[in-house]
Chain A
Amino acid sequence: MAPAMIGPQAKRGESRAALDARSAHLRRAILDVVRSARRGHVGSAFSIVEILRVLYDEILRVDPAHPDRHDRDRFILSKGHGCLALYVQLAERGFFPREALASFCEDGSLLGGHPQAGKVPGVEASTGSLGHGLPVGVGIALHGKLTGRDFRTVVLLGDGECNEGSVWEAALCAAKHRLENLVVLVDYNKMQCYAATAEVLDLEPLAAKWRSFGFAVREVDGHALPALRRALRALPFAAGRPSALICHTVKGRGIARCEGNPHWHHKSRISDAELGELEGELEAGRDGRCAS
Chain B
Amino acid sequence: MRKACLESIHELARRDQRVLFFGSDIGAGTLEGFRTEFPARFFMEGVSEANIVGVMSGLAMNGWIPYLNTLAVFLTRRCYEQTLLDAAMHRLPVRLCGSGGGVVYAPLGPTHLAFEDLALMRAIPGMTILAPCDAGEMRRLMAQTLDWEGPVYVRLAKGGDAVVSDAALPCRIGRGVLMRGGADALLVTTGITAQIALAAHAQLARDGIAAGVLHLHTVAPLDTALLLESAAGVRAVVSVEEHNLTGGLGSAVAEVLAEANLPRAPRFRRIALADGFHPEYGSQASLLRRGGVTAEAVAGAVLTLLETKEG
In the bound complex, residues from chain B placing their C-beta under 8 Å from that of A131 are 50
Q: Contact at B50–A139, with CB atoms within 8 Å? A: no
Which of B40-48, B227-235, B266-274 has 4 or more CB atoms under 8 Å from chain A?
A: B40-48
Contact digits for A165-182, partner B, Cβ 8 Å, 1 yes 0 no: 110011011001000000
Cross-interface CB contact of B48 among A125, A129, A172, cutoff 8 Å: A172
Instruction: With A146-B40, A173-B51 as known contacts, state yes or no: A139 contacts B58, CB within 8 Å.
Output: yes
A132 CB–B CB distance under 8 Å: yes
Instruction: With A118-B90, A129-B81 as known contacts, state yes or no: A173 contacts B48, CB within 8 Å.
Output: yes
A135 CB–B CB distance under 8 Å: yes
Q: Contact at A126–B90, with CB atoms within 8 Å? A: yes
B163 CB–A CB distance under 8 Å: no
In the bound complex, residues from chain A placing their C-beta under 8 Å from that of B51 are 135, 138, 166, 169-170, 172-173
Which of B59-67, B199-207, B253-261 has 4 or more CB atoms under 8 Å from chain A?
A: B59-67
Once the chains are docked, how many angstroms separate the CA of A141 from the CA of B58?
8
Q: Contact at B58–A166, with CB atoms within 8 Å? A: no
Instruction: With A126-B85, A143-B62, A146-B40 as known contacts, state yes or no: A135 contacts B55, CB within 8 Å.
Output: yes
Rounded to whole Å, the gap between the CB of A230 and the closest CB of chain B is 29
In the bound complex, residues from chain A placing their C-beta under 8 Å from that of B57 are 135-136, 139
Once the chains are docked, how many angstroms separate the CA of A170 from the CA of B49?
10
Instruction: With A118-B90, A129-B85 as known contacts, state yes or no: A136 contacts B58, CB within 8 Å.
Output: yes
Judged by DSSP, the binding face of B is: helix
B82 CB–A CB distance under 8 Å: yes
Residue of B nearest to A171 (CB): B51
Q: Contact at A138–B62, with CB atoms within 8 Å? A: no
Rounded to whole Å, the gap between the CB of A195 and the closest CB of chain B is 25
Residues of A within 8 Å of B, CB-based: how many? Answer: 26
Q: Contact at B50–A135, with CB atoms within 8 Å? A: yes
A142 CB–B CB distance under 8 Å: yes
A160 CB–B CB distance under 8 Å: no
Residue in A134, A137, A139, A140 whose Cβ sees the most chain B Cβ within 10 Å:
A139
Rounded to whole Å, the gap between the CB of A41 and the closest CB of chain B is 19
A117 CB–B CB distance under 8 Å: yes
In the bound complex, residues from chain B placing their C-beta under 8 Å from that of A138 are 51, 54-55, 58
B156 CB–A CB distance under 8 Å: no
Q: Contact at B59–A139, with CB atoms within 8 Å? A: yes
B31 CB–A CB distance under 8 Å: no
In chain A between 242 and 267, which residues have their CB closer than 8 angstroms to a CB of chain B? none
Rounded to whole Å, the gap between the CB of A102 and the closest CB of chain B is 26
Instruction: With A125-B90, A143-B64, A169-B48 as known contacts, state yes or no: A136 contacts B55, CB within 8 Å.
Output: yes
Q: Contact at B58–A132, with CB atoms within 8 Å? A: no
B242 CB–A CB distance under 8 Å: no
Once the chains are docked, how many angstroms separate the CA of A143 from the CA of B40?
11
Rounded to whole Å, the gap between the CB of B168 and the closest CB of chain A is 40
Cross-interface CB contact of B50 among A117, A146, A165, cutoff 8 Å: A165
Q: Contact at B50–A169, with CB atoms within 8 Å? A: yes
Instruction: With A129-B81, A169-B51 as known contacts, state yes or no: A135 contacts B58, CB within 8 Å.
Output: yes
Instruction: With A135-B50, A166-B50, A172-B46 as known contacts, state yes or no: A126 contacts B55, CB within 8 Å.
Output: no
Once the chains are docked, how many angstroms separate the CA of A142 from the CA of B54?
12
Once the chains are docked, how many angstroms separate the CA of A143 from the CA of B65?
12
Q: Contact at A170–B90, with CB atoms within 8 Å? A: no
B53 CB–A CB distance under 8 Å: yes
B306 CB–A CB distance under 8 Å: no
Once the chains are docked, how many angstroms separate the CA of A274 from the CA of B48?
45
Once the chains are docked, how many angstroms separate the CA of A106 from the CA of B51?
33
In the bound complex, residues from chain B placing their C-beta under 8 Å from that of A135 are 50-55, 57-58, 82, 86
B56 CB–A CB distance under 8 Å: yes
In chain B between 60 and 90, which residues have their CB closer than 8 angstroms to a CB of chain A? 60-64, 81-82, 85-86, 89-90
Q: Contact at B55–A170, with CB atoms within 8 Å? A: yes
Q: Contact at A136–B50, with CB atoms within 8 Å? A: no
Q: Contact at A142–B50, with CB atoms within 8 Å? A: no
Once the chains are docked, how many angstroms separate the CA of A146 from the CA of B58?
13
In the bound complex, residues from chain A placing their C-beta under 8 Å from that of B62 are 139-140, 143
Once the chains are docked, how many angstroms separate the CA of A142 from the CA of B52?
12
Rounded to whole Å, the gap between the CB of B74 and the closest CB of chain A is 13
In chain B between 197 and 237, which residues have their CB closer than 8 angstroms to a CB of chain A? none
Cross-interface CB contact of B61 among A125, A134, A173, cutoff 8 Å: A125
In the bound complex, residues from chain B placing their C-beta under 8 Å from that of A139 are 54-62
Q: Contact at A140–B86, with CB atoms within 8 Å? A: no
Residue of A nearest to B63 (CB): A143
Residue of B nearest to A140 (CB): B58
Residue of A nearest to B20 (CB): A146
In chain A between 122 and 172, which residues have their CB closer than 8 angstroms to a CB of chain B? 124-126, 129, 131-132, 134-143, 146, 165-166, 169-170, 172
In the bound complex, residues from chain A placing their C-beta under 8 Å from that of B89 are 126
Once the chains are docked, how many angstroms separate the CA of A291 from the CA of B16?
52
Once the chains are docked, how many angstroms separate the CA of A65 from the CA of B10?
40
Once the chains are docked, how many angstroms separate the CA of A131 from the CA of B48?
13
Taking Cβ atoms with an 8 Å cutoff, the residues of A that contact B are: 117-118, 124-126, 129, 131-132, 134-143, 146, 165-166, 169-170, 172-173, 176
Enumerate 5 A-B pairs (CB-CB under 8 Å) in ascending A order.
Answer: A118-B90, A146-B64, A166-B48, A170-B54, A173-B45
Closest 5 CB pairs of A and B: A139-B58, A135-B54, A169-B51, A169-B48, A139-B55
Known: A124-B61, A146-B41, A165-B50. 5 other contacts (CB 8 A): A132-B86, A139-B54, A139-B57, A142-B58, A166-B82
